[in-house]
Structure 1
Amino acid sequence: MIIETIVPPEKKTMSIGELAQRAGLTTRTVRYYEEMGLLVGVIRGRNGRRVYTEEHLYLLRLIRRGKLLLGMSLTEIKELVEVFRQTGTERSVIHRSIEILTSHLDEVEDKQEKLESYHTLLIGEIKRLRGVLRS
Structure 2
Amino acid sequence: MQYSNYQSGPMYQPPVPNKRSAGMETAAFVLGIVSIVTCTCIYISVICGALAIMFALLSKGGATSMSNRARYALILGLIGLIATVIMYASAFAYAIHTYGSIENLLKEYCNLTGMDFNELYGDLFAQ
TM-score (structure 2 length as normaliser) = 0.32
The structure with the larger Rg is 2
Q: Which has the higher contact order (CA 8 A, sep 6+)?
A: 2
Higher helix share: 1
TM-score (structure 1 length as normaliser) = 0.30
Higher strand share: 1
